[in-house]
């Protein structure tokens, strides 16, 4: 059951701020529930995956408002729920299956079902005719299995701040205290998210104050509230005490500068 009305849906599609806010508030509980579900036990240990999935869900709601064709509340909420699930699954695969595309990760999961959960048998099935037009090459299936297991990254050499080079397992052991032989794919994914999150905040800190605020507003990065780029530029400008043009300039220049700085520091992972 939803409290959203036909009129609110129509108004939100016309970028009415009050209606959009009402929909965001109405869907927040759903987003948090789905994020906790997909994050699983990781969410109980301070893992950032749940936060990443929550952000994905919020962005998806923004997108659904403009794309939904109709104004029936029940159909609207069902539409949002479907798209939140799909978007979070894509985010989950991207976060937990590094090294292969989301499509390959999904195909390997299909092979895993056919293999009854055995990843080695799934590798064989993924490269066989059982997969139909989604059949992988043996090399691709091997890479997909390694990515699913997380093993391909354990021996990868990575630079450390003191100039030394360690394997990823040794680096995680050094930074988290988890013995290298006990590190799992979940530990790798958790460490990767932490590194990326820290790198994002370090990079944001190198931007000008206005650029940093506008970039954070576009993604709802705490403590800045989320503002939809374009649709909410007037409101964001008013809150920042500047003009709409200055907001747009800060977004354009800040996004370009962020990309340059982030790539320069990407060696952290």
**Is the per-residue pLDDT at 205 higher than 70?**
yes
Q: What is the pLDDT of residues 246-262, one digit of tens each?
A: 999 999 998 888 877 76
Give the pLDDT score at 160: 59
Rg for the chain, CA atoms, rounded = 21
Taking residue 261's Cβ as centre, other Cβ atoms within 10 Å add up to 17
Cα distance between residue 151 and residue 98, in whole Å:
11
Hunting for tokens 């009415």 — which residue is that?
Answer: 16
198 — pLDDT class (breaks 50, 70, 90): confident
Name the token pair of 142.
């091997």
DSSP state of 4: -
46 — pLDDT class (breaks 50, 70, 90): very low
125 — pLDDT class (breaks 50, 70, 90): very high
Q: What is the pLDDT of residues 67-107, one digit of tens each?
A: 998 889 999 999 999 999 888 887 876 666 656 777 887 88
Selection from 123, 154, 155, 4 nearest residue 68 by Cα: 4
Name the token pair of 86.
């799909």
Selection from 155, 98, 109, 97 nearest residue 136 by Cα: 109
Which of 33-37, 68-72, 143-147, 155-159 is predicted least confidently?
155-159
Q: Which stretches of 157-243 are DSSP H helices? A: 168-176, 185-204, 209-219, 233-240
Sign of torsion over alpha carbons 27, 30, 34, 37: positive
Bridge-partner residues for 167, per DSSP?
Answer: 157
What is the rounded average pLDDT for all residues in the chain? 80
Cα distance between residue 130 and residue 175, in whole Å:
43
Name the token pair of 4.
């959203």
- pTM for this structure? 0.46
**CA-CA distances (angstroms) from residue 130 to 117, 122, 134, 172, 244?**
16, 11, 9, 38, 56
CA triplet 187, 162, 175: central angle to 5 degrees?
20
């Amino acid at each position: 059951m939803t409290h959203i009305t036909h009129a609110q849906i129509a108004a939100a599609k016309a970028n009415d701020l009050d209606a959009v806010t009402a929909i965001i508030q109405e869907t927040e509980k759903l987003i948090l529930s789905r994020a906790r579900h997909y994050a699983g036990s990781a969410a109980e240990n301070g893992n950032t995956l749940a936060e990443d999935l929550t952000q994905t869900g919020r962005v998806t709601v923004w997108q659904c408002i403009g794309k939904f064709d109709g104004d029936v509340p029940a159909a609207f909420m069902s539409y949002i729920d479907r798209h939140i699930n799909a978007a979070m699954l894509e985010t989950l695969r991207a976060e937990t299956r590094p090294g292969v595309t989301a499509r390959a990760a999904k195909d390997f999961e299909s092979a895993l079902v056919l293999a009854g959960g055995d990843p080695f048998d799934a590798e064989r099935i993924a490269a066989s005719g059982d997969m139909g037009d989604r059949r992988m090459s043996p090399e691709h299936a091997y890479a997909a299995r390694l990515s699913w297991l997380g093993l391909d990254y354990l021996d990868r050499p990575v630079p450390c701040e003191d100039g030394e080079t360690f394997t990823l397992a040794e680096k995680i052991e050094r930074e988290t205290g988890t013995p290298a032989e006990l590190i799992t794919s979940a530990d790798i994914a958790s460490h990767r998210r932490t590194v990326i999150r820290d790198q994002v905040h370090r990079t944001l800190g190198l931007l000008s104050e206005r650029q940093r605020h506008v970039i954070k507003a576009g993604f709802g990065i705490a403590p800045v509230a989320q503002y939809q780029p374009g649709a909410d530029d007037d409101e964001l400008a008013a809150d920042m005490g500047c003009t709409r043009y200055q907001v747009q300039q800060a977004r354009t220049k800040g996004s370009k500068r962020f990309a340059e700085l982030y790539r320069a520091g990407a060696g952290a992972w």
